[in-house]
Every structure is written in C-alpha cells, then in structure tokens.
Amino acid sequence: MPRRPWMLAAVLSAYAVVTLFASACGSDEPAPVRPNQGTERGTQNHGSKTPLDETDTKRDHDTVPDDFGNKITAPPLPPLPPPPEDAKPLRLALSGMMDGHLEPCGCASAQAGGVDRRAFWLRLNQHRFDAKLEGGNSIHANDPLERQKLQWVQTILGGYLEYRYFPLGPRELALGKDELSLYTTDEHGGPFVCSDLRVDGKAPFLTHAIQDAGAYKLCLVALAGSSATSFAEGASVLPASEAIREALKAAGTRGQDYHCVILFAHDGGPEAAREHAKSIPGVDLVLAWDHELETRSKPEVFRRDPKDAVVAQTTLLYPGWRGKNLLLWTGKPDAQGTWHTTALEKDVLQVPANAEKGKRPAGSDAEVWSMLIASKQEIGELGLREQMAERTKRTDGLTYVGTTACSECHESSAAVWAQTKHAHAWKTLEEREAIDGWPVSKHPDCVLCHTVGYGEVSGFVNPAKTPDLEAVGCEVCHGPGSAHVDVMRALAARETKSGKKASADELQKARVDGKLQAADAKTCIRCHNFDQSPGFDFLERWPKIKHGLDR
C-alpha cells in the first residue's frame, strides 16, 4: 500500500499527482453537487445562532458537605463579569469524529458532509474564523480500508487544508505504533496530540500543542482513555486530571504562552466529558460527542468559584460526527481570562438535492473532489474489497448458502423478491461505475449493503467467487441459512424414503432448529439508516418486499 509521510512537501507532491490524474479523467470541469432538520441551513448560509440566554449553565458541584458530612445544596455562585467591550473575539471552526466518512455515501439525496464541501466552505469563509480544529476518531476501525482512509485524511486535511494538529482517539491508536509512525519524521515530528498515553513511561506523541488563532494562542490537549493501551506493548494511560495537569505544566504560563485551553475528550461519551468539564482545572473548552452524535448549537457551561480556580467556567461543545456540519464558536475573555461564549452557530455542509450523479456538485472544492476520486480508484487497485471480505467469524457457526438454495423450496417468496429492488442491488453498483468514474462495486463501504454476508466468513467475496451472494438476498434479512437447509433437507429426505410427511410440530421445531431470524425494522435500518436513506419509511416500504411462508 502506498504511504504518504506527514512532511508537507511530500504530501503536496502526492496531491499534485492526484490532481493531474483526476484532471485527465475530466473531473476538473465545473458542475453542480449527508441529514438535517428544522431551520438548519446549507453551506451557503450562516445557519442559526444560539442566544446567550439559552446556554445550559451548571455549577461545578451541585452539592457540598456540611460540618457533619451531609450533602447540602451549594449556594449559587455570583454571575461572572462580562468580557470588556474592547476584548478581541476568538473564532473557531470546529469538527470531529469523522468515523471514516471522507464524504457521504452518495446513495440518496438530502445528505450532508464531505471534505470537498468543507474545503469549499473554508475557502469561502476564511473571514469567519481564526483557527480550524478537527477532533480525533477520524477512522472507523482497525482494518485495511480504514488505514487507507487515514492516509487520505492526512493528505487532504493535513496537506491541502493545512490543519495543524490532529488529536488522537482510540480508533487511530488501535492502528498501532508502526502505522502512525508513517506520519512523523525526525526533523518535524508529527501532527498528533495525545495527553494521557504513555509507552514505557514516555509520551509517544505531543502531550499538548500550541496553535496561533488570531490575537490568541490555543493550547490543545486530548484524552484517549483506557482503550488507547492497544497502541503498543508497555502502553498505559494516565488518569485524566494528571495527564492534563502535566500537559499544561509543559505548555508554559497561561496568558503568556497560551490563552485558551481546548480539551478533545475521546475517552467516553457526554458523561465523561461533563466530568472533565467539572473536575479538570485550567480547561476552557471541552469538545466531545453526545449519544445522538449530532452537532449541538447550544453549549453546556460549568461554573467554578473564581476565588478557587484559575478558570471560572468551562464550556462543553458537541461538534458532531462524520463531518456533516461545522460548529462555529465565538468567545471573549473577561478581565480574569475566563472565556465566555458570545455566539455559537451550526453550519450544515448540505449536498444539494438536485446534484447530478457523477458530476462535481456545486459547493464542492475541485481539487479535493479530484483527490476523493483518486482515493476510490486506489481502493479498487489495492484489492481492498477482497481484503475486507471474510474478516469476521460468526460465533454461532452458521454459514451462508446463497439465494438459489433458498429458492429451491421457497418459490413464491423468491418470485416476490425477484421483483424488488433488493434483487437488483448489485446491478445498481455496477451501473454507478459507468456514471461515477470509479469502481463502486469494489468499494467495501458500498459492497456491504448490496450483498449477502460481506465481511463475514462464508459471505460475499467477489462476483467470481460468490456470485450467489450478490444483491440483497434472503439471508440479509433472515440470517445464514446453513442450519435451516440441513434440518429441512433431512425432513425432505425422510419423506422421500418413507413417505412420511413432517407434522406441524416437526416443521415448527425444524424452523427453531434452523435458527432463521424474522425480518423486522431493526434489520432494515442497518443499511437504510438516517445517513444513507434519510427519507426511509419502514411502514411505507415493508409492503413492497413482504412475502409469506411457502411451507
């Protein structure tokens, strides 16, 4: 697999090759372009700002012990003085947890996101932010496809868009020391920040990073949590408070070496992030994700007594995931250096509903669009479809038998299925290849929802090896059919030999022993989720595929 070191010259050199390749394919011609609700707007609009009185303010400790150890309600803290009128604002464009989504899948309209749309937005709106920051967990898992994606994340975001630093989450760290060392050099070090990870007692990455942002300097710190120990032998994780305390000590003096501390919390969900916001001193902003994984345009603010703390309040923000939106935060410091949110705005990177397939859509950066095409061409050339096949072994021991085996007995069900779009799901991938100009049927993310059992042992591998597992066949909804086929064939063999037909009780027992699952809405939304099928309505779609038992 080709490698791209972090050094900017090498990255831009790779980018130049990509651009020339894509231009030869005609993708530099101008032309038109993943889900959103309410009054949120697309790339060309400013979105909606959050009024300051809508912030969710919490005290650091809701209760305090009295002289006898009983918990009583803490007295309210006095309001903080507002920032001076002449204080210069700090404006940040925030995003994070890309989860391996450099772009929406393209299956449906009304999708949002994509690094090409982000690049266009950043270029068009340079006057609206002082610094752009990307959080960790940029990939989905530790596998060949996600390793390839990380290379392109670094090429596009690190090289072309010039993101300075990349806080690491447990998903990147799971790739291991050797993989992440590809993006570092002896001369320039690396772009990665991880404050709590230690290997044999030493920090393998930057524990903090100082980044200029307008009139201020940011101090970036990051927590990966206990999962980070998969990084290497001898890996350990410091407690969160200790890790940040050490990082800030190394960063220097607040107000001189840095002005605003931003913590990327990758070590848990909103509960862990809130605990950090309440308990770790010296942190101004905490960036995390909530259980809905959506971008929130409303901050959570945690107060401290200014007599006991350097930072009198910490603000918790949720930039969302998969790069669907940018969260624009504006703040000002008061006289004591505590930061106050003055504006918070969510900009949706919306793909136009009328985007023509195979054409670069409006609001998409031409160079990044070309890089994305090249990255998908590379996936086909590297044979990642086959590398990602049969990676998971089922714990129940069942195997896939293919649609033809099901059709031998379930003729009427097969006839209903043959008239549905499920039966033609593989063909839709092949048809898109001619339109999109890259091997859609060789991209594992696309193959997953257009075949049977892809990624599992005995599941789809490729058309030559497993032709009967193409398309969305019976076993996608009902599970692997090996046990079912065995028990039903045993009953059929007995009937052929003795003439004795199976009783209703025997058939029912055979169905139980066959371990088939009933199809339901949970099965559908594995692929027809809000990202890939924003308008999916189970009650409306179910009658189109519904069929009864044949026997």
Dihedral of CA atoms 181, 183, 186, 187 in degrees, nearest 10, equals: -170
* Residue where the block lists tokens 């400013």: 46
Cβ 44 vs Cβ 363: under 8 Å: yes
40 pLDDT higher than 70: no
Give the sign of the dihedral formed by CA 20, CA 24, CA 27, CA 29. Answer: positive
pLDDT above 90 (res 507): no
Considering the domain architecture, whether residues 100 and 192 belong to the same structural domain is answered as yes
Give the span between the Cα atoms of 216 and 129, in whole angstroms. 12
Domain that holds residue 432: 386-481+516-545
Amino acid 550: pLDDT? 56
**Residue 349 placed within a domain:** yes
Q: What is the pLDDT at residue 339?
A: 98
In a domain? residue 501: no
Q: Give a yes or no: residue 160 inside a domain.
A: yes
The size of the chain, in residues, is 551
Claim to verify: residue 322 and residue 427 sit in the same structural domain: no
- Same-domain status, 365 and 449: no
- Among 22, 53, 7, which residue's Cα sits nearest to residue 371? 22
The last residue of one of the domains, among 370, 396, 428, is: 370
Asked whether residue 78 is domain-assigned, the answer is no
Q: What is the pTM of this model?
A: 0.85
Residues 399 and 351 in one domain: no
Structural domain includes residue 551 = no
CA–CA gap between residue 15 and residue 10 (Å, rounded): 9
In the chain, the percentage of residues whose pLDDT exceeds 70 is 85
Q: What is the mean pLDDT of residues 464-493?
A: 93
Alpha-carbon distances of 243 from 223, 225, 408, rounded to whole Å: 8, 11, 62
- 119: pLDDT confidence band, cut at 50, 70 and 90? very high
Residue by residue, DSSP assigns 69-86 as S-EEEPPPPPPPPPPPTT
User: What number is the average pLDDT over the span 98-102?
Assistant: 96
Other C-beta atoms closer than 10 Å to the C-beta of 332 total 19
Same domain? For 318 and 452 the reply is: no
Domain count, the chain: 2
Which residue, 370, 401, 428, sits at the end of a domain?
A: 370
Question: Can you give the pLDDT at residue 21?
Answer: 35
pLDDT above 90 (res 28): no
342, 370, 398 - which closes a domain:
370
pLDDT of residue 189: 58
Predicted pLDDT of residue 8: 40
CATH for 135: 3.60.21.10
Q: Using one digit for the tens of pLDDT, what is the confidence trace for 269-317?
A: 999 999 999 999 999 999 999 888 899 999 999 998 888 788 999 999 9
- Same domain for 520 and 451: yes
Residue written as token pair 């000002």: 332
